[in-house]
Amino acid sequence: MTAHVQQLQAEQSRFILGVADHLEAFLSSQQDIMATVSPDVEPLLGSISSLVTGGKRLRALMCYWGWRGAGGAENHQDILTAGCALELFQAAALIHDDIIDRSDTRRGGPSVHKRFSQLHEVNGWALDNERFGHAAAILTGDLCLSFSEESFTRVGPRAAAGTQARAIFNLMRAEVMAGQYLDILEEVAGPVRDRAGSVDRAKSIIRYKSAKYSTEHPLALGGALAGAPAELLRGYSAFSLPLGEAFQMRDDVLGVFGDPETTGKPAGDDLREGKRTVLVGFAINMASAADAAHVDQLLGKQDLSAEEVDRIRHIIVECGALDATESLIAELSDKAFAALEQLPLDELPLSALRRLAEAAVSRAA
């Protein structure tokens, strides 16, 4: 291992630990406040704390290296606080996303709404445990959104109203909600819409629901907090937007073909959730009319059997949809890496962004 790589890894590790410390301190202070309301609300804080512990920290890291690339100081308190805010926003998005997708697992364990349903069952409470689980998780996600805003406000003048950083943070949150709506709209309206437009609609969903808030906005946010000029922010976008799209498409491939031991979700779970991804869009477009109708019919079926999952996988592979998706991932990746090499960055942030990008698009099944 070269000295340069050691330096990069050491700095990145210090940042990750710093964000973890900030999250712990922030949530501990919130725990004290919530305890004055009632000890019964502790599971809300516990669920948030559990969700923000660990993870890849992709968004926080993109923000950090955007900051460093624009001249920000190593592990400054402002960027650690911003990283904390991004992790809290990510947690809120995951909580709500799992409810919408009816996904009972997250990172190999029960999702937040499932945990609350189990809490209801264990205590033998009245009425419906699933309804309680969903309601409690929605409130937990809303609380997490509130915490994210509070954390970002603590950055101070760099994140104040009227700044570029505040505009990016606000836009990021609004676009995710709009993208999420487009996602659920496609699940219900997609089967009766024109087949030819399915891939383009899926690309739009990926862009606004995932790519922008996973890579583009966090990178720009870090740059803006450090006072990056408009030209650098445009360069950041040229790199990070196609990267984010490739990252999500890779995630969608893993959602159908990935190993549950790696993904933390049952095999074919995305198919049971009815996700109309680019991969599925290509299948609907490229398969025979009969096979496309079969995929349409099975997509979103909650009790989809292993045999039915295998049948959909077979159709996706045989019609060329998997190859088409892989080609698009490669095309977007090439575009991102080409733009990255044009960024006027010092070697350390440039290398860090290159490593993050490689990890994002080359995850194994």
Q: What is the DSSP letter of 41?
A: G
Model pLDDT, residue 194 = 78
Q: φ, ψ for residue 110 (rounded to 5)? A: -65, 140
Model pLDDT, residue 364 = 55
Lookup: tokens for 132: 């309680």
Q: What is the DSSP string of 215-267?
A: IIHHHHHHHHHTT--HHHHHHHHHHHHHHHHHHHHHHHHHHHH--HHHHSS-T
Break the chain into its structural domains and give their ranges: 9-361
Sort 43 into a burial class: Cβ within 10 Å, 0-12 / 13-18 / 19+.
Answer: middle
- pTM value is 0.95
Q: What is the DSSP letter of 106?
A: E
Model pLDDT, residue 208 = 96
Model pLDDT, residue 267 = 73
Q: φ, ψ for residue 138 (rounded to 5)? A: -60, -45
Model pLDDT, residue 124 = 96
Model pLDDT, residue 324 = 97
Residue 66, SS3 per DSSP = helix
Q: Please give the Cα distance from 159 to 312 (Å, whole number).
A: 47
Model pLDDT, residue 1 = 66
Q: How far is CA 178 from CA 16, 62, 167, in A?
A: 30, 22, 17
Q: Please give the Cα distance from 254 to 265 (Å, whole number).
A: 10
pLDDT tens, residue by residue, 86-134: 999 999 999 999 999 888 988 878 999 999 999 999 999 999 999 999 9
Per-residue pLDDT of the chain in tens (365 residues, 90 and over written 9): 688 889 999 999 999 999 999 999 999 999 999 999 999 999 999 999 999 998 889 999 999 999 999 999 999 999 999 999 999 999 999 999 999 988 898 887 899 999 999 999 999 999 999 999 999 999 999 999 999 999 999 999 999 999 999 999 999 999 999 999 999 999 888 787 777 788 999 999 999 999 999 999 999 999 999 999 999 999 999 999 999 999 999 999 999 998 887 777 777 888 998 889 999 999 999 999 999 999 989 998 988 999 999 999 999 999 999 999 999 999 999 999 999 999 999 999 999 999 999 999 887 54
Q: How far is CA 220 from CA 90, 130, 223, 232, 272, in A?
A: 16, 39, 5, 9, 35
Q: Please give the Cα distance from 114 to 102 (Å, whole number).
A: 10
Q: What is the DSSP letter of 110?
A: E
Lookup: tokens for 307: 């045999």
Length of the chain (residues): 365
Q: Mention every residue, 6+ apart, whose C-beta is less than 8 A from residue 173.
A: 89, 145, 213
Residue 109, SS3 per DSSP = strand
Lookup: tokens for 15: 């940042």
Which fold is adopted by the domain 9-361? Answer: Farnesyl Diphosphate Synthase (1.10.600)
Q: Mention every residue, 6+ apart, whose C-beta is less than 8 A from residue 7.
A: 348
Q: Please give the Cα distance from 80 to 22 (Å, whole number).
A: 7
Within 10 angstroms of residue 89's Cβ, the number of other Cβ atoms is 24
